[in-house]
A and B are shown apart, each in its own frame.
Chain A
């Protein structure tokens, strides 16, 4: 499994690159199809369910992630742009249980770029944060969500090969 990341603390960005063993069209469905998307958006302990998904430029999405105790964390996306099947740009933020932005913590951005490579598709994700304070708040919240356990598991998985 080939995943590389690069962080830029001054620009407050994180770039993740992964090579997927699938055609461009197949890989694109990971994001265009909400049933596919919810299989990878949330951590294993906090699986995501998308209750609204308008995969069009200007469209919105509403999802929740449900924790082991049944607690739900809601989030919403604004889909800024789509260049099928190459690129999608979104804003992600915390939401109330109707999928309306809660105004907590603020907006993060993600630009997903798919490109065909030999034997598959390279996916590059550029995530952007608004401020160091926002980053700090988000990490705190993530820790409270109990996502901490996942960290060791992933690093173990990635170091296997």
Chain B
């Protein structure tokens, strides 16, 4: 399994997000228990919109996730699951990187092969017997 590595800019975003005391507090709270944005707003001496902004910064940095439950926006600090999904996605990164490399190889063969391209294809149904 490819181990996911954060890029510099992702690390920057994370540190910037955590540089603010309110945001650190939010992460701390939602790591223990999910909370709606409105419930978080009650805890701080600031507007709902301001709290929502903090949550958005944390979300962009990948530190919390937000989901909808009815009219409420629920904030969760499931770091582990974020990283887990990231790891799973990185497997498919590899699959697609490999496909891209193979595409490049196919194109390179154009230059070295005399054989004309196979005309049987576009839009055609091709049935090849197999077991």
Contact = CB atoms under 8 A, between A and B. Distances in A.
11 contacts: A3-B100, A10-B65, A29-B117, A30-B107, A35-B120, A35-B121, A53-B126, A55-B122, A127-B92, A150-B94, A154-B94
* Interface SS of B by simple majority: helix
Interface band, chain A? 35 or more
Contacts of B103: 18, 20, 30, 40, 123
Interface of B: 1-2, 4, 59, 62, 65, 81-82, 84-86, 88-108, 110, 117-118, 120-128, 130-131
Contacts of B1: 139, 143, 148, 151
A157 B110 contact: no
A5 B97 contact: yes
A34 B124 CA distance: 9
Contacts of B131: 97
A77 interface: no
A155 B4 CA distance: 13
Contacts of B98: 43, 150, 154
Contacts of A40: 99, 102-103, 105-106
Contacts of A5: 93, 96-97
B125 A1 contact: no
Contacts of A3: 97, 100-101
Nearest to B83: A9
A130 interface: no
A21 B98 CA distance: 16
Going nearest first, the 4 A-B pairs with the smallest beta carbon separation are A40-B102, A33-B121, A18-B100, A9-B85
Given A136-B88, A158-B97, A151 B122 contact: no
Nearest to A110: B96
Contacts of A147: 95
A20 B81 contact: no
Contact of B82 (A9, A34, A129, A142): A9
Interface string A47-63: 00111111110010000
Given A18-B104, A40-B103, A127-B92, 12 more contacts: A7-B86, A9-B85, A10-B59, A10-B62, A14-B89, A27-B107, A33-B122, A36-B106, A36-B117, A52-B126, A54-B125, A154-B94
A129 B88 CA distance: 11
Contact of B106 (A14, A39, A135, A154): A39
Given A21-B107, A26-B110, A39-B102, A50 B85 contact: no
Name which of A54, A139, A143 has the most chain B CB atoms within 10 A of its CB.
A139
Contacts of B123: 32, 54-56, 59
